[in-house]
Amino acid sequence: MCVRFEASDVTEMNDWIAIGALALVGVLIPFGMMAVSYLLRPTVPETSKRATYESGEIPTGGTRIRFNIQYYMVALLFVVFDIETVLLFPWAVAYQDALAADEISLVSALGPMLLFVAILLVGLAWAWRTGAVQWAQTSRQLETDRS
Amino acid sequence: MPGQIAGATAGTAAFPAVPLQETVLLPERIGELTGLDGFGLGGELLATFLAAFLIGNLMLAMTGVAGPWAKRKITAAFTDRIAVNRLGPAGLFIIIADAVRLLSKELVVPENADRPAYDLAPIVVASSALLGFAVIPMGNGIHLADPEVGLAYVFAVSGIASLGLVMAGYASANKYSLLGGLRAVAQNVAYEIPLVVTGMSVVIFAGTLQMGEIVSAQAEPFVTIAGISIPSWYALVNPFAFVLFLVANFAEVGRNPFDTPEAPTEIVAGYQTEYSSVYFVLIYLGEFLHIFLGGAIIATIFLGGPAGPVLPGIVWFIIKIWAVFFATQWLRSAVPRVRIDQLIEIGWKGLLVLAFANLILTAVIVGLIA
């Protein structure tokens, strides 16, 4: 492995090997606990012990219920904004160094970012107006919606 | 890592009293100490695994102290009670007793559960939280890895927990669990954006995503008052971002006043309603690891990482993350819960807008100074 990489690459690799090692530890610890628990715990099957918990009542209906569409709206908004943050990270890293090195002017360093954020904030304003991020409505808002 | 060395030397030239950022990471140090680095690649891998094992168990030990003992003691102090005091000094042995008690409980799997997902969810929740600690510099050379994308990596892996929570909620085949899982994911996605965008305002100052460099950038003096030089911790440079990040972080880890996903008075225990025995322990462990991971991120990017006077770095690091943990417990005792619709509104209409305002203001101010 060491042969194929330059010296600087090896340090980079070590970082990710270390992270991989922690991932391994992070999986081994839960499995270790599950093994210990498997040895310790009793198994006492009883009638309706495994029934779905509904505060002691006999469970009614299925659990694959319909839920509020607004969860979907929020998830959609998140995808848009999360991609935006990923695209902004390189800009944030380069910003100060580029300005300090006098490579570009403040306007041309800041302008594209402001434009990019502005486009997305228009999206947020739309979501705000259509009520995607307002889940409960006051009685007055309900009346204006009906009329 | 040439950038890191340059940052360290710049700090030394301006301000020699500041402890140097260690450039030797934990796997290499363990390799040297145990002599494993003489055994080629196999030895290096073993040393790396030992280092990871050490970090994992350090965080596990902290969670062990926090979960069964400190949480009870703190809540008891707030509500004027005594809490655990029977076993050992100050009731500390309750940690062992609770570990045995919880692991030896019967595992009751609900009859309609989606099996692979139901079993995987606790593992996903617990290990995703642990993964984040790989890039956190804990002082005294306890730093597992320092990749160039450190900060982005931390946000990415802590986001995996949402997947575990929605798996737990859906696979339990319980209405409370489903609602809790949905709330958890809605909350996590709503507050992830302000969290990352506020973190980005720190990146503008530091000019890097590498955790080691973010910490060494904070070692440079900010202001000097009466001969005492105050380091430029980003919590002092930009307190507004610090407060925003703190609030977004409490929501991200689902603590009061944003603990709607498990709201015990509304939906029993949310996504963990149907989990018992070791699975409950794992989900609980994952939640505490997330609180500590949040504290570790706050300490690293806002509070100078392991830096501090007199005491060694690791002690300062532990003090800082426990301070964040204490804050979560304080809020738990002092602040009422917000409703789910209020939570969404606070996130998208309040924090998100403030986070972008903070980012743009920071960019403009840094741009004018530079």
Residues in chain B within 8 Å Cβ distance of A36: 103, 278
The H or E element that residue B344 is part of is helix B340-345
**Tokens in use for B355?**
């986070």
Are the CB atoms for B161 and B153 separated by under 8 Å? no
Residues B167-211 pLDDT 10s: 888 888 888 888 888 888 888 888 888 999 998 888 888 888 888
Measured between CB atoms, which of A16, A110, A121 is closest to B356? A121
State the nearest Cα–Cα gap between B172 and chain A, in angstroms: 8
Residues in chain B within 8 Å Cβ distance of A19: 131, 134-135, 144-145, 147, 153
Q: Which of B365, B352, B321, B364 is nearest to B63 (CA)?
A: B321
| Domain endpoint, select from A65, A81, A100 | A65
Distance, CA of B11 to CA of B18 (rounded, Å) = 7
Q: Do B152 and A89 touch (CB under 8 A)?
A: yes
Distance, CA of B214 to CA of B222 (rounded, Å) = 15
Q: Do B145 and A16 touch (CB under 8 A)?
A: yes
Residues in chain A within 8 Å Cβ distance of B201: 92
Number of domains in chain A: 2
A72 and A60 within one domain: no
A71 and A60 within one domain: no
State the nearest Cα–Cα gap between B214 and chain A, in angstroms: 11
Residues A19-78 pLDDT 10s: 888 889 889 989 998 899 899 888 888 877 788 887 777 777 777 777 777 788 888 888
Q: Is the ipTM of this complex over 0.85?
A: no
Q: Which of B30, B115, B177, B193 to mutate to test the interface with A (most CBs of A within 10 A)?
A: B193
A97 and A56 within one domain: no
Residues B206-229 pLDDT 10s: 888 888 888 888 887 777 777 777
A83 and A139 within one domain: yes
Confidence of residue A13 (pLDDT cuts 50, 70, 90): low
Interface of B with A in 100-139 (CB under 8 A): 100, 103-112, 122-123, 126-128, 130-131, 133-135
Mean pLDDT of chain B: 82
Residues 6+ apart with CB under 8 A from B254: B184, B187, B188, B260, B261, B262, B287, B290
Q: Which of B286, B315, B287 is nearest to B299 (CA)?
A: B315
pLDDT value for B234: 86
Q: Write phi, then psi, for B276 (nearest 5 degrees).
A: -130, 175
State the nearest Cα–Cα gap between A6 and chain B, in angstroms: 13
The greatest distance separating any two alpha carbons of chain A, rounded to the nearest whole angstrom, comes to: 76
Residues 6+ apart with CB under 8 A from B173: A52, A63, B110, B112, B113, B114, B274
Measured between CB atoms, which of B193, B366, B370 is closest to A78? B193
A71 and A51 within one domain: no
Q: Do B55 and A95 touch (CB under 8 A)?
A: no
Residues in chain B within 8 Å Cβ distance of A107: none
**Tokens in use for B219?**
């070692």
Query: Would you list the domain boundaries of chain B?
Result: 23-104, 109-369
A145 and A98 within one domain: yes
Query: Residue B225 pairs with which residues in a beta bridge?
Result: B228
A70 and A136 within one domain: yes
Confidence of residue B243 (pLDDT cuts 50, 70, 90): very high
A70 and A37 within one domain: no
Measured between CB atoms, which of A40, A49, A85 is closest to B103? A40
Domain holding A74: CATH number? Answer: 1.20.58
Q: Which domain holds residue A49?
A: 1-65
State the nearest Cα–Cα gap between A34 and chain B, in angstroms: 6
The greatest distance separating any two alpha carbons of chain B, rounded to the nearest whole angstrom, comes to: 69
Residue B40 has pLDDT above 80, yes or no: no
A87 and A40 within one domain: no
Mean pLDDT of chain A: 78
Are the CB atoms for B262 and B180 separated by under 8 Å? yes
Mean pLDDT of A92-97: 84
